[in-house]
Amino acid sequence: MRLIRFGEKGSEKPGIMHEDQRLDCSDHFADWNHDFFANDGLQWLMAKDVSTFPAVPVNERWGSPIARPYKIICVGLNYADHAAESQSKVPSEPLLFTKYGNALNGPFDDVLIPRNLKAGAHSTQTDWEVELAIIIGKDGQYLESESQAAEHIAGYCTANDVSERDFQKNRCGQWFKGKSCDTFLPLGPELVTADEVDDPTNLNLELTVNGEVRQSSSTEHMIFKPHFLVQYISQFLTLEAGDIICTGTPPGVGMGMNPPQFLKDGDQVQVTVEGLGTQTQTFRNHP
| CB-based contacts of 128, cutoff 8 Å, min separation 6 | 160, 162, 163, 207, 209, 214, 215, 253, 254, 263, 269, 271
CA distance 18 to 21: 5
Residue 42: pLDDT band with limits 50, 70, 90 = very high
CA distance 287 to 284: 8
In the chain, the percentage of residues whose pLDDT exceeds 70 is 100
The per-residue pLDDT for 27 is: 95
**Which of 38-47, 84-93, 163-172, 255-264 is least confident?**
84-93
Residue 174: pLDDT band with limits 50, 70, 90 = confident
Q: Which DSSP letter does residue 220 get?
A: G
The per-residue pLDDT for 76 is: 93
* Residue 286 C-beta-side C-alpha neighbours within 13 Å: 15
CB 97 within 8 A of CB 72: no
The predicted model gives 177-193 an average pLDDT of: 97
The per-residue pLDDT for 112 is: 98
Domains and CATH numbers, the chain: 67-285 (3.90.850.10)
Residue 286: pLDDT band with limits 50, 70, 90 = very high
If you average pLDDT over every residue of the chain, what do you get?
A: 95
What are the C-alpha distances in Å from 185 to residues 199, 216, 266? 24, 19, 18
Among 135, 147, 151, 155, smallest CA distance to 34 is for 135
The predicted model gives 22-50 an average pLDDT of: 96
> In this structure, which amino acid lies at residue 2?
R
The per-residue pLDDT for 271 is: 98
Among 273, 78, 43, smallest CA distance to 157 is for 273
Phi-psi region of 170 (alpha: psi -120 to 50; beta: other; left: phi over 0): alpha
The per-residue pLDDT for 15 is: 98
CA distance 254 to 85: 10
Q: pLDDT tens, 227-240? A: 999 999 999 999 99
The predicted model gives 109-121 an average pLDDT of: 87
| CB-based contacts of 52, cutoff 8 Å, min separation 6 | none
- pLDDT at 201 exceeding the cut of 80: yes
Can you tell me whether residue 281 is helix, strand or coil?
strand
The per-residue pLDDT for 81 is: 83
CA distance 133 to 146: 17
Q: Which DSSP letter does residue 216 get?
A: E
Looking only at the bridges linking them, the beta strands covering 111-113 and 277-285 are: parallel
The per-residue pLDDT for 170 is: 85
The per-residue pLDDT for 173 is: 73
* CA 149 and chain centroid, separation: 19
Number of H helices, E strands in the chain: 7, 21
The per-residue pLDDT for 118 is: 73
Residue 83: pLDDT band with limits 50, 70, 90 = confident
**Which of 55-64, 82-91, 259-268 is least confident?**
82-91
The per-residue pLDDT for 49 is: 92
- pLDDT at 13 exceeding the cut of 80: yes
The per-residue pLDDT for 87 is: 77
The predicted model gives 31-51 an average pLDDT of: 95
CB 29 within 8 A of CB 44: no
| CB-based contacts of 10, cutoff 8 Å, min separation 6 | none
